[in-house]
Every structure is written in C-alpha cells, then in structure tokens.
C-alpha cells in the first residue's frame, strides 16, 4: 500500500443518531475507494463496520470501528462511532484523533436525539463539522425540513452546498451549488453525469452560491476585500476560504446522498478531499505541559493510543494516531506513561476486522499495531528522541450509572474480575471496583444500555451467568456534640487475667476547629482516614494512670470501631478522641485489654454524642431542551436536589446545576431519558458528605437493625 504524506490524509469521524446510516455510509465509501468489492448491508449482517457479535444481533454500532478508503490520491481514515449516548466514550476518543466530524442526518427524521447529543461534543472539542443528509431515497425524506431543523438547532452557519432535485425512490439528481453544476447519479454504481444547472433551479442555486462565497470571504481579510471590490471569488479562492471557514466553525456545509443506493457518495468523498482539512491544517494539539505538537514528518515521532481492542486469536490491538514524525515497522518506541520500551513489530492500516500490513506511517495518519506489552488506551508512545513528550489525554466523561454485580456461581467471581479488566481496557468509560466497605463488586458506566450490553457480553461471549442488583450507598457516620465515657475490661479465667480501664472524651471535628482545652494534651496524632475525613487522637494521661505503651493499643481498638460505625456499620469520620484517665493492673493489664477497653469506650461515647449519618452528595449538571426544563426541575426536586443555578446553553438548551444525594440518583439516566424523550444528557461528580435528614436516618437505622437480626 502507498505511504501517504500528511497533506494526502483526511481523518473523519461519522457521528449522529442511531439509524441515521453511518455504517451504511462507511460501507459505500470503502466500496467507492476499492477497499471492498461488494457492499454489505446492516440487515444482512455483513458490513465492515458492525462485525462484532453483539452488533450483529442488535444491528447497531456498540463500539467505534476504524476504517480507511482511498480516493483520487488521498487516504480517508474513517471512524464509525456509535449513535447512543451510553457509548459516548467512543465518540470522545474519535473526536480527539479526527480532524473533522461528519454529522449524518436521517432525511426522514431530521435532527434527532443522537444529533443533538453528539453536536455538544463537537462543540466541546471545537471540531469542524460537515453535515450529510442521508437516506434521500426514502419515501418520507424531506431535505428542506431537515435544513430548517438544523438551522433552528445549530444556527445560520448551516449552509447547503448541495440540494436534491428529486427525493424518494426516484432520487438520483442533486444541484452542487459550490461548483454550480447538476449531478445525476446511476443507482448502485456511484457514476456521475455532470451537466449545467437547469433554468428552473438557477435562482435557488445562485442564492445559495452567494451565501457560500460570503462565508468563504469572511475567513480572510484579503478575500473579503476582493469580494467587496469584485462581488465574487475565483474557484481557487473560494475553496481556500471555504476550507478556512470550515476549520474555524464559521460554516457547517450540508451535502445530501443515499448511502444505501451509493448515490452521491463519490461526490461527498470528493468534497472531503477538496475541503476537509488535512491533519497539518487544523490547530496543533498540545502536550500535558502546554507545548504544541507540530504535525510534521520532520519532527520526532509521537503517537497517542486512542483505542484498544482484544481480538480472538490475536490478542491486543492498539489503535493510534501519529501526531508527529514517521514510524516504521520494527522501530523501538518509549511509552511516556510507563517508561517501558515498545517495539512496533508490525504496523497495519485497518478496515474493521481486516488488517493490511504497511511498512511506514507519516504524521497525521491513523494505524494499528499488535501485542504492545504495556501500552494502554490514552498512552503516548514516542521515538527515543521524543521520549519525554506526553500528549494531552482523552478526557472521558465521569460515570453516571452504577450497579452491583455478582456471578451466579460463586466459583466464577475471580473469572468475572478478569473479564472486567479486559472490558475496562477496551472501554475506559466502564469502571469497576471491589468495594471492601460495601462488600460488593460495583460496576459503573454511562447508562443502563451500556451495562445491559456488558451483561450480554459476559453471559454470551465469556459464558458466565451474572446478576445486577442495587448497590449500597457508602454512608459515613460522625458526631455532633461532645460526650464522655468509661469502660473497664476485666476478665479472670485462672492465671493471668485481662484488665484495662479507659476514660475518654470525643468531640466533633470540623475545619478550623481548635483543640479541646479541658485536658492537657501530652501527645497528639492526626490521622487522614482512607475513606475521607480525619481522626485526631490525644493522649491526655497524667500521673501514669495508663502506661504509655498501652496508648497505641487503645487507638487500635478505636480504629476497629471507626471502620465499622456503631449506627449502620459504615465508616466513621471527623472525630477528636481524648484519652484523659484510666486504670491498670500490675499483672493483668496488657495490650489486648486496653484495645478492647478503647473500642467499647468509643462505642459508648459515640452513641451519646448525638451521632449522625452522612451521605455522599454529587453535583449534577443536566443539559436539556428549553421546553423540557420544567419536567427536569420537578424530577430533581423529588430527589432532594438543591439547585445551584440555571444557564442558557446555546439558543435551544438550558443547563441546570444541582447537588443531589447519591441515594437519589439510582437509575437517574433512565428516568431523565423518560421525562425528556431521550433529549437530555447529564454529568455528575462527587462533592462531599452531608447529614441525611432525620426521617431518612431513622429509616436507615431500622433497616440496619433488621439486617443484623437476619444475620443473627
């Protein structure tokens, strides 16, 4: 295969709603470029993109697929991204390495939920966007209504560069208002018959052509001056200005086609070649220390691994974008994240599950390698000359959905952990932890659909039966006033006995609180608890009432009870403990005696110090269409939310920020989708712990008591 230079490479990601035809479009592009000799179909389960078993069963993309096509001397790298928000990690990763987003619109439905959601991510990444209105051959196709909706949602920068002459089953002709020609296609062959625009379409075409010229002129002062002087631009000036406008997101050009019939696909690929920016024409990416990476073959090599796949009979496949330099087969690289050396024993350009060996990649290209021993998604690999460079990583959204999981057969628990490690490698938005505190295996992701697909994979591919169930909430316990207690541990059973007496005072700790002044402090220990919060341990013993060698034993007893709080068995935090008196026995006192005395004295004091249960609070940010704001607000208020603020998000959306208890967020993604018809999205992040209301604390105490009785 030819080695493509940077200016001959185009990197695009196909995004948009499910069923918009992204997979079918990628199939047609591969056919037009000669990468495949026969076009597959989603319903026939034989497309290059959707080749995984779960995708064949659901007939939807679940994971992004890396592909390429060759067209008139250019290499077009294509990533087909899933249309469901639950798999948004694939979209985010693709936007990191692709220079242009191609938003595919279903001509029957116009702007859909998936269109709105993926648009927000292009805005966050400042990605150039090209719209493609697909399925123009459908009886209900409506190009003009699609354009109206696109302008409504995305603004007046949406400008058609093509429009159809006819739609529905007879669709075969479009007007190209960029080249001012009529294009007539032969269904299924991709062949184009070019002719002059008929008189009936000239006025409409000229009006749209004028808008394109204006948009192109506005990208450059010199072009603007010429436009004002002459009222037009040359074809070369028009293409140059239009490309700059696309890069700056000053224009969102719209094309139309039928990917299923291969009508307009070749014209779209020609547009990609001519007007989609090459990797060195977009703003440079940066390293974690803010330095720019120049996309040039002359620079030292740096590549970012943006996707990892575990393939049968092959093992780990690492997909990368080469941001600078050149790499060749057999080259030694350095992983900037781990410091380990990696050899690129084989290099591939990829079309779904098909891998074609290449000897060399040049800056800007996308490729793959296999069996890199210690390289993971988001790692930077460099030539030895560039060893210290670390490219800014992909920022994945925080998890929004959590569930507890267990294998139905306990003997499969260890195997389940290994499977989740592989899943995490392939999809960084799936997180899991074996919670010692909750005694549950917790899996977290972007939504219920994502975890439903995960369950399908584990049960059907890995052959392990699992079940999901409600996760426990990691509550915390603390106190709100001071209390004193005394506990004497005494045990006599022949020979040496056990004796230890401890007097202690406990107080609540809060930021800025001064030490207690009732007793002199002889020794002070500040402990940052692993689960958050602090414990201050004061030795206030005078006169040798307790020997100094027993003070650590008392702390051990206290820590045992802090790790299993007296109220609900949850971790305790933010407490000051002062040991101010006690008694010893010259023979029977030992460490175990004072450990038990300390533990029981702490338990008694804790119960008398107005104990409270704390719950984790998350800050939730919801973005929804303006007309759905009331429904979202009502739902949040029913979840004990405290609204922090509301802002506009573009012309059609609102954003609500609120603090919500984690206990109220179980299955929130499903509920939000229900009240907004799937048109809202949200993110959440942990903030702090706050006291639960009294009625909820009573419910938790009763539930814990019942649980303890059941265990007894």
**pLDDT tens across 624-673, in order?**
888 999 999 999 999 999 999 999 877 778 999 999 999 999 889 889 98
- Give the tens place of pLDDT for each residue, 262-291: 999 999 999 999 999 999 999 999 999 999
Compute the average pLDDT of residues 346-365: 94
Please tell me the predicted confidence (pLDDT) of residue 196. 95
Residue-wise pLDDT for 582-621, tens only, equals 999 998 999 999 999 999 999 999 999 999 999 999 999 9
| pLDDT score of 189 | 66
Q: Is residue 96 part of a domain?
A: yes
Give the tens place of pLDDT for each residue, 429-478.
999 999 988 999 999 999 899 999 999 999 999 999 999 999 999 999 99
pLDDT tens sequence across 141-163:
999 999 999 999 999 999 999 99
CB contact burial 393-432 (16+ within 10 A = b; e otherwise): bbebbebbbbbbbebeeeebeeebeebbeebbebbbbbbb
Q: Are strands 476-479 and 611-625 parallel, antiparallel or unpaired?
A: antiparallel
Tell me what pLDDT residue 657 has: 96
Candidates 141, 139, 136; CA nearest to 108 is: 141
Asked if residue 373 and residue 502 are part of one domain, the reply reads no
Q: Tell me the two tokens of residue 652.
A: 């059609």
Give 5-30 pLDDT, tens digit per residue: 999 999 999 999 888 999 999 999 99
In contact, 85 and 117? CB cutoff 8 Å: yes
Task: Please write the tens of the pLDDT for every residue from 660-701.
Answer: 999 999 889 889 989 998 888 898 999 999 999 999 999 999
262 lies in some domain: yes
308 in the same domain as 418: no
What is the H or E stretch that residue 597 is in?
A: helix 591-607
**331 near 312, Cβ under 8 Å?**
no
pLDDT digits (tens, 9 = 90+) for 94-122: 999 999 999 999 999 999 888 988 998 99
pLDDT digits (tens, 9 = 90+) for 209-224: 999 998 888 888 888 8
Across residues 371-381, what is the average pLDDT?
93
Residue 127 lies in a domain: yes
Domain of residue 459, CATH code:
3.30.70.870
Q: What's the half-sphere exposure (Cβ side, CA atoms, 13 Å) at 426?
A: 19
Residue 330's domain is classified under what CATH number?
2.40.30.10
Chain-centroid distance of CA 646 in Å reads 24
Query: Does residue 395 fall inside a structural domain?
Result: no
Residues 294 and 413 in one domain: no
Strand order in the sheet with 162-164: 162-164, 173-176, 181-185, 192-195
Which residues span the domain enclosing 666? 614-695
Which of 352, 386, 420 is a domain's end point? 386
For the segment 326-348, the average pLDDT, to the nearest whole number, is 94
CATH number for the domain including 645? Answer: 3.30.70.240
148 and 19 part of one domain: yes
The pLDDT value recorded for residue 272 is 98
Please tell me the distance from the alpha carbon of residue 69 to that of residue 59, in angstroms, as a whole number: 23
Q: State yes or no: pLDDT of 494 exceeds 70.
A: no
CA neighbours closer than 13 Å in the CB half-sphere of residue 347? 23
Tell me whether residue 707 is in a domain: no
Indicate the residue among 472, 499, 523 that finishes a domain.
472
**Residue 705 domain flag:** no
Strands 9-15 and 100-106: parallel
Q: Give the end of a domain, one of 593, 609, 625.
A: 609
Strand order across the beta sheet in which 315-324 lies: 341-343, 332-335, 380-383, 302-311, 315-324, 366-370, 347-351, 354-358
pLDDT value for 709: 73
Report the CATH number that the domain containing residue 23 is assigned in CATH: 3.40.50.300
pLDDT score at 492: 80
Torsion sign (Cα): 441, 447, 448, 451: negative
Considering the entire predicted model, what is its pTM?
Answer: 0.87
Does residue 394 fall inside a structural domain? no
pLDDT of residue 260: 94
pLDDT score of 712 more than 60: no
| Same domain assignment for residues 502 and 461 | no
Same domain, 436 and 358: no
Percent of residues, the chain, with pLDDT higher than 90: 77
- Would you say 665 and 444 are in contact if contact means Cβ atoms under 8 Å apart? no
Same structural domain for residues 239 and 107?
A: yes
User: What is the rounded distance in angstroms from the CA atom of residue 347 to the CA atom of residue 330?
Assistant: 9
Do residues 602 and 623 share a domain? Answer: no
Q: DSSP assignment of 612-663, as one string?
A: EEEEEEEEEEEEEEGGGHHHHHHHHHTTT-EEEEEEEETTTEEEEEEEEEGG
Domain count, the chain: 5
Q: How far from 227 is each of 230, 252, 354, 445, 660, CA to CA, in Å?
A: 5, 21, 48, 52, 55
Chain mean pLDDT for the chain: 92
**Is residue 706 assigned to a domain?**
no
Note whether 243 and 119 are same-domain residues. Answer: yes
Model confidence pLDDT, tens digit, residues 380-398? 999 988 878 999 999 999 8
Question: Of all helices (H) and strands (E), which one includes residue 104?
Answer: strand 100-106
Confidence (pLDDT) at 546: 95
Q: Is 553 helix (H, G, I), strand (E, B) or coil?
A: helix
**Judgement on whether residues 47 and 181 belong to the same structural domain of the protein:** yes
For the chain, give the percent of residues with pLDDT over 70. 98
Residues forming a β-bridge with 197: none
Domain containing 544 — which CATH number? 3.30.230.10
Residues 52 and 187 in one domain: yes
Whether residue 376 sits in one domain with residue 482: no
- Quick one: tokens of 61? 């993309």
């Amino acid at each position: 295969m030819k080695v493509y230079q940077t200016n001959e490479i185009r990197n695009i990601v196909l995004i948009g709603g499910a069923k918009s035809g992204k997979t079918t479009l990628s199939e047609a592009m591969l056919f037009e470029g000669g990468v495949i000799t026969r076009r597959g179909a989603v319903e026939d389960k034989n497309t290059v993109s959707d080749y995984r078993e779960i995708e064949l069963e659901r007939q939807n993309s679940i994971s992004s697929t890396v592909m390429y096509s060759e067209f008139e001397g250019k290499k077009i790298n294509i990533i087909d991204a899933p249309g469901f928000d639950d798999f948004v990690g694939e979209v985010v990763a693709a936007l990191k390495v692709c220079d242009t987003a191609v938003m595919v619109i279903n001509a029957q439905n116009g702007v859909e939920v998936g269109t709105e959601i993926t648009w927000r991510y292009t805005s966050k990444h400042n990605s150039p966007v090209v719209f493609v209105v697909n399925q123009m051959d459908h009886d209900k196709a409506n190009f003009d209504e699609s354009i109206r909706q696109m302008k409504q949602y995305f603004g007046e920068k949406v400008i058609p560069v093509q429009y159809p002459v006819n739609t529905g089953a007879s669709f075969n002709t479009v007007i190209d208002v960029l080249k001012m020609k009529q294009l007539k296609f032969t269904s299924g062959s991709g062949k184009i018959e070019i002719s002059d625009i008929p008189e009936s379409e000239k006025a409409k075409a000229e009006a749209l052509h004028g808008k394109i010229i204006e948009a192109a002129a506005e990208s450059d002062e010199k072009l603007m001056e010429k436009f004002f002087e002459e009222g037009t631009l040359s074809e070369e000036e028009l293409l140059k200005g239009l490309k700059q406008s696309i890069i700056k997101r000053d224009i969102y050009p719209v094309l139309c086609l039928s990917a299923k019939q291969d009508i307009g696909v070749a014209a779209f690929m020609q547009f990609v070649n001519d007007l989609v920016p090459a990797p060195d024409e977009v703003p440079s990416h940066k390293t974690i220390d803010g330095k720019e990476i120049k996309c040039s073959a002359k620079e030292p090599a740096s590549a970012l691994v943006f996707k990892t796949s575990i393939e049968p009979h092959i093992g780990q496949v690492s997909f990368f974008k080469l941001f600078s330099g050149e790499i060749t087969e057999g080259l030694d690289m350095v992983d900037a994240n781990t410091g380990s050396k990696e050899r690129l024993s084989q290099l591939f350009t990829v079309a779904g599950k098909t891998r074609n060996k290449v000897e060399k990649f040049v800056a800007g290209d996308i490729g793959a390698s296999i069996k890199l021993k210690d390289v993971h998604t988001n790692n930077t690999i460099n030539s030895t000359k560039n060893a210290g460079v670390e490219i800014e990583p992909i920022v994945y959204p925080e998890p929004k959905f959590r569930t507890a999981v267990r294998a139905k057969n306990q003997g499969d628990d260890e195997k389940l952990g290994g499977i989740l490690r592989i899943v995490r490698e392939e999809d960084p938005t799936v997180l899991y932890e074996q919670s010692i505190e909750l005694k549950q295996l917790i899996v977290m992701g972007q939504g219920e659909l994502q975890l439903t697909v995960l369950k399908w994979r584990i049960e059907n591919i890995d052959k392990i039966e699992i079940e999901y169930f409600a996760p426990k909430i990691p509550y915390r316990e603390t106190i709100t006033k001071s209390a004193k207690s005394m506990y004497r541990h005494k045990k006599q059973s022949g020979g040496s006995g056990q004796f230890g007496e401890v007097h202690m005072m406990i107080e609540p700790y809060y930021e800025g609180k001064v030490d207690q002044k009732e007793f002199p402090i002889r020794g002070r220990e500040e402990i940052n608890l692993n689960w958050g919060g602090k414990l201050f341990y004061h030795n206030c013993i005078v006169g040798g009432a307790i020997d100094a060698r027993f003070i650590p034993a008392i702390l051990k007893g206290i820590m045992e009870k802090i790790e299993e709080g007296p109220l609900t068995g949850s971790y305790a935090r933010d407490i000051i403990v002062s040991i101010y008196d006690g008694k010893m026995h010259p023979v029977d006192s030992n460490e175990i005696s004072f450990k038990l005395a300390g533990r029981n004295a702490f338990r008694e004091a804790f119960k008398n110090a107005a104990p409270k249960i704390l719950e984790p609070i998350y800050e939730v940010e919801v973005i929804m269409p303006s007309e759905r704001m009331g429904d979202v607000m009502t739902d949040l208020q029913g979840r004990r939310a405290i609204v922090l603020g509301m802002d506009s998000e573009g012309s059609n959306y609102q954003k609500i920020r609120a603090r919500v208890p984690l206990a109220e967020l179980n299955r929130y993604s499903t509920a939000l989708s229900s009240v907004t018809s799937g048109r809202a999205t949200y993110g959440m992040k942990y903030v702090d712990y706050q006291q639960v209301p009294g009625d909820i604390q009573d419910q938790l105490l009763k539930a814990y008591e019942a649980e303890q009785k059941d265990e007894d």
